[in-house]
Chain A
């Protein structure tokens, strides 16, 4: 990875940082509102894995923010560059498809982690949180961010208009994140929906991430790690193949 890669990474980070009120502060505020509303309604009524509801909710919101913002970063950057045409600035230089992929995905991870950290900072005052196994926290945040960042690259390359990207986001990413156990334990679902949830990779990201805080979770963290790592490997291979072929980028 050369200086071309690090410049592209820097440019992608600078891009969202320059408009941090929209790209960082706004999603933190959204997560805070979710916390206030859901914890107000459910605190005291529900305990999950022996953890008070608000405590349980916080890691879910943090991870949801990591994932959604990682996706938003790579997908919106790419679609904007394609629609305005300034994508040529990164297509003309001697940047390899591998460097291209790594820079967009890493920048997405950075955005996800920055927003996630912001959400954690804003919400941790509302309920006690443990940090039972911090390594799991880090591993799942990074891998989850990379998976969604990679999905964002795919969506950003595939979509030709903003509404196609919005469709990808509204009909795939949003349902998968909301139906992943952010707001509840899937053990509280009817058996059918429990089964469905087990096919949702985002469930494993949230569940594994949460395990890092409380040391308990719906699935074993090793099982979650296997699922998440497999997803990441498959998506990386798929995205690299698209980029190598120049799909929709080099006619």
Chain B
């Protein structure tokens, strides 16, 4: 039976196994919405802003490993989606975004709601397509899913002019099982010679470090990583994006690294003699000052993307390949080797570790944000899916929640997009209706996609929103305190809404916590409401800072420390 372009598009999604389509209708996609109406295989989730559609699809993808799928209209629908597309691009998240376009005959005429979606999204997609023939829809969709999900994953935009989905034009439909693309052949296995070289180097190490990143989560290589680390008994640190791939509470794990990483991991990075980077891309928030990055180390780098290798830091042993495959090979080779004795190195590391670099004032009469996160961990037994927005709360969540499993920590690391947390949590909750999903946010960030509380009611998503309300764009305030002599330019959040009433007006439950003594009991009460969305507005210490901190462009051993820890005091006055 012949089908229209709109029907074909939806059939493609069904045949691709898509459960949810996050979207928002408009003129250019009305034929597609009509096709959606006629079926119930693919469930459409109506968001309240296209940015949220992309973040929700992204959250779904990060939690499940399956591609997130989005449908938006032309013009403003497409431009609203751009932030979410860029977010997914920076963090290599598989996503297929279908944008409506004006009819083929109108393209280029500045038609109503026309934007060059392919042009606008080109720098922030893995690839994009403009479909100009109804007979090409199925093949293009197959290519889009293939490109989005293989190699280094990423978002793919498919721009479809309205006439291509015209219900009056019907053609035969068959979803291809495979598509040939001569120009796209992502690497899988690593070079065996380089793998051997890497093993040899690792076995000579006296002060080794394992630096693991988001690629391990994306590449579903957490098991392989655990075997690898335990065989060697080497210290392991993780990037913000990699948290959970290795359990935080294992003795070999020495904390996150980078700008707000632990003292011990940053010091160990600085002093190591062999570094193995696994699915990590030497981001500037991780490396600090390039010239002083791991100054004495030979570096091994495993990455699926050749362009990540020696981009900013020149490496000695580059291994291009799928992280899981490469680690499996390494694990096999390592099994028969005797491992180096690094007791002296562990002694040094344990010395650094003996000082609690994350210490904070536990006797304050104000609620400390760190404590709130610790309690959330306790209540959820460390087993929740935690999304976050961007700011201090994000760093505290990363430092204090403690992730034991991959795919549980979901945040916008690369782009740092405020507004990500709540819609991402929606995607996660839809994927896992019975799991606890927590959105850790700030009073600034939550207002960037607050309208999604309405979507949450419509689809019955019992997310727990933990808002660390410091009445400041806290991370901005922290930088202004440190580097701008406390000139708090536009970082105070005035005229905040009453979040409890606001949440109630959206049909959910709101709780406000103001006193440290109420923190635990009120959080427990909130999390006990299993089938309700609860917005927990926690009034926290306004002036709390995130420590340790390496100022942008400084070296790993140049950390600022909290006045509440035993480490050398915060040298901020020298910097100011």
Judge: A and B partners, yes or no: no
A interface, CB within 8 angstroms of B: none
B interface, CB within 8 angstroms of A: none
